[in-house]
Structure 1
Amino acid sequence: MRALLVVNPAATTTSARTRDVLIHALASDLKLEVAATEYRGHARDLGRRAAESDDIELVVALGGDGTVNEVVNGLLHAGPAPDLPRLAVVPGGHTNVFARNLGLPNDAVEATGALLDALRTGSERSVGLGLATGVPGTSEASAADRWFTFCAGLGFDAAVVGRVEGKRAEGRRSTGPLYVRQVVRQFLGDPNRKDGLITLERPGEDPVSGLVVAIVSNTSPWTYLGNRPVWASPDASFDSDLDVMALTRLSPAAVARYGSQLLSSSGRGPRGKHVVSVHDASEFTLTAQTPLPFQVDGDHLGLRSNVRFTGVRQALRVIV
């Protein structure tokens, strides 16, 4: 089997020596081409090249969730198709939500062993993905489409992602404590935490307005704080469409309560009068009164006022 290995050399939890060992192990079973990413968006370009090739059957992403997201967007640049290369993931980032939610080990060496075993036995599955697009008739109608593997968000959580990216650009490592500090700072400085600006619109349903934050999930857990799962929409699944967990208020008491529920071992997620939950929605739109931070798979994409979300089932085949 001919495979393309897309390596992020800046992956936070793998060293150059570890990557060399993993490449050697994969090359023993595959006709392997290795490409290291050199700029933001390079993994997407490599994924697109693989999708357009005549002989690449597998693309392996060695990196974090950002690398995986770029590879997926490259593979699906023309939409899902039965003859696309399969995707495999070797986790090399800090959080690795997609890989962990597929049931893969969170250690790169162990995950490589599991990948080779899966290839030998032909073990794979089809996963659904989310697609964020511009909204026709708005100023952002031409916004680039973006596939996501596990989550997207508009408002508070995306602002936190932006803060974390800013700290990483300054040379800080992406860690759980760094995220917690940025959550606190965003909370203290967020002017919209009492009067939400976001409206959720679904076909055939009344709009829900006044949302401070809206988190769209394609799987569960939503993310991880170290080894601890964070539960936003516990029923979200790769086998269904999209889930939404939104909040209409972020007071200090609400933050403490919902933060505890997000991290609860019960896995039930947030609940209460300020919580809006939607399960298995195939299409909906988030509209903000003013442009707000927007993120997909932990990648801050700037400010958006209108985003349409679509759940696409069986979008990609993944080796597991």
Structure 2
Amino acid sequence: MPRMTMIEAIRDAHAVMMEANPDVVVFGEDVGYFGGVFRCTAGLQERFGKSRCFDAPINESGIVGAAIGMAAYGLRPVVEIQFADYVYPAYDQIVSEAARLRYRSAGDFTAPLVVRMPTGGGIFGGQTHSQSPEALFTHVSGLKTVVPSNPFDAKGMLIAAIEDNDPVIFLEPKRLYNGPFDGHHERPVTPWAKHPLGEVPEGRYTVPLGKGEVRRAGSAVTVLAYGTMVHVALAAAEDTGIDAEVIDLRTLVPLDVELIEASVKKTGRCVVVHEATITSGFGAELVATVEERCFYHLEAPIGRVGGWDTPYPHAQEWNYFPGPARVGEALTRAMEG
């Protein structure tokens, strides 16, 4: 089985779907001739033509608005917002139009579109290139929100998202684009080409939306994470020696509540980890879900680890991220509770 980086896996997912379905179109800022700022669409314009993969003006509202019209017409657009930080001008289109189209039309119209965005830190981009806005989308009925943690999932979930008949927000952690992040370094230390999680099948396959995955089995404490923080949680479990069960949520909406419930009822403890700011982050929803469903099985307070409640610190990016030390402290507190 070939091994790929996450960038290559995402590019391959585009190519597979564009080859299979002429209704799939790809556009956004610099995605055509240049192939995207992170090269996720490199070569697609040359292969499929300028009518299938093309550049758009720097107008996020216009990009998403045009995609909604295309989707309602019958196409399956995949648009790239160059950085998740740039999505705010398009937020009204996503929330007021794409998310509600099926409901407002009583099912006469749907919005089968994918909005892809690089998310999180890793390039020292500060407040304008490193935000993690996933919670803003999980609050909106009608949207699905996906955050892959490895190339296999990135390709399979992007194909599933393109085939889905409702709008999908597809968030791609920048620190995972080129290799598995082990939680201890600013850059990947092992290329995906040498890592088991980098194995990606050729051709079409899907990873179902709404299903999480146990990345590390354990019996002492459940760790709920997604994206880059899955690798940080794995590093923390290794560093502390605590028998933690690490769950990769993969899809935030719809959430795999059954997997979470089964794990927490088994371990009796839970720690939630995400890169975004703590206050009103998606971790709060996870904590509430665990408390509602597993209260009588809990043996300690639920822990929560995330970014600081401050504007994104450009120069202090690495301190802002939850690292294995901070996650390890939360695991230790959970075991002592």
TM-score (norm 1): 0.33
More strand by share: 1
Structure with the bigger RCO (C-alpha within 8 Å, sep 6+) is: 1
TM-score (norm 2): 0.32
More helix by share: 2
